[in-house]
Structure 1
């Protein structure tokens, strides 16, 4: 999930960040945090812009200096989850890992992220669907899975005829479909990682080089 941000990209480490930019970033974080807290506590639809700005203790118009509309917070939340996933995978990455292990690590990292913020995930995923984001946004998980499958093809682990993007789409559907079921049942994600990895193995067994 991605969205257009008005706040400038973080400056390079060698550049000094001015007071004005620090204030903008701090205000953005204040509004973002207030939004996520309220969505989690009382629901996305039930939370108004006024609720958010009151929690953040700013004027209503300040919200629109950072977000064009409320649903842009959903996009920001999704972008942060992507960053968290990349960091999580970077922390567990190691040389010599085979394709299946890399994909399993990815599924387990996704399950971990959802488990850590389960109530927020329930609310935000439902809001993400209602706002039409799954239809219009670039499928980030697809490209991540496809990267791993492409590396597997190059290493000779995956059959040459396999289309990495198609496999990426299948694995993304496995992940989101499983997650939707957990959210729909109101079920705690204690077995989410096991279910994702088990289904992943079924898919990978069909694309491995024999």
Structure 2
């Protein structure tokens, strides 16, 4: 059970995050200041910096919350009991759906995340999940034992991000079908991972 103090800290953190996301969506990431975020969240500037030491910390939280949501959604679909191919597709599908559902926010924050070094700093997070699934597939005999699970995990992660960047770049008339592109990429990798 959480204490009153812990609940208050979580509430303040949530208010700051929600204020930041609202301002980022309304006026853009670069145009938003920490002072504006603190003001909208009705907290002191120092409090905002205590919870989020840099503005880019909100981007880290944004990514973390998306992955948490994917995990919750995946558990509702049977979690890791699915065959590995279905599990990888389900995980990446859920991520893609969040991006599509929150398209305006994604189009605002993804470039900021890239500029802040997110793809490099965050490399282990998504790749680690994919690597864990590949290793699970190896244990089950669904994935070749001689493949490097970590390299395969990074390959899937990079394919996902590559498709996301292409989707972000395209305008409405040439928009990449993100879900289909993710499926095709996973299928290509899975064919190479399939037991011989």
TM > 0.5 fold call: yes
Give 5+ residue unaligned stretches, structure 1.
1-14
Deviation beyond 4 Å, 4+ runs, structure 1: 186-190
**Shift, 1:89, TM fit:** 1.2
Counterpart position of 1:73: 58
Match of 1:131 among 116, 131, 135: 116
Whether contact under 8 Å (2:35, 2:45) holds in the other structure is: yes
1:106-151, Cα deviation, whole Å (9 max, x unpaired): 2211111212211111111111111112222342111111122112
Whether contact under 8 Å (2:159, 2:185) holds in the other structure is: yes
Q: RMSD of the alignment, in Å?
A: 2.0
1:143-171, Cα deviation, whole Å (9 max, x unpaired): 11112211211122222211111111110
Whether contact under 8 Å (1:142, 1:169) holds in the other structure is: yes
Query: Superposed, which structure 2 residues align to 1:84-103 within 5 Å?
Result: 84-93=69-78, 97-103=82-88
Q: TM-score, normalised by structure 2?
A: 0.90
Identify which range, 33-42 or 47-56, moves more after superposition. Answer: 47-56
Point out which structure has higher relative CO (alpha carbons under 8 A, 6+ apart).
1
Whether contact under 8 Å (1:174, 1:196) holds in the other structure is: yes
Larger fraction in helix: 2
Counterpart position of 2:181: 195
Identify which range, 56-65 or 168-177, moves more after superposition. Answer: 56-65
Whether contact under 8 Å (1:49, 1:70) holds in the other structure is: yes
2:37 paired with 1:36: no
Whether contact under 8 Å (1:99, 1:157) holds in the other structure is: yes
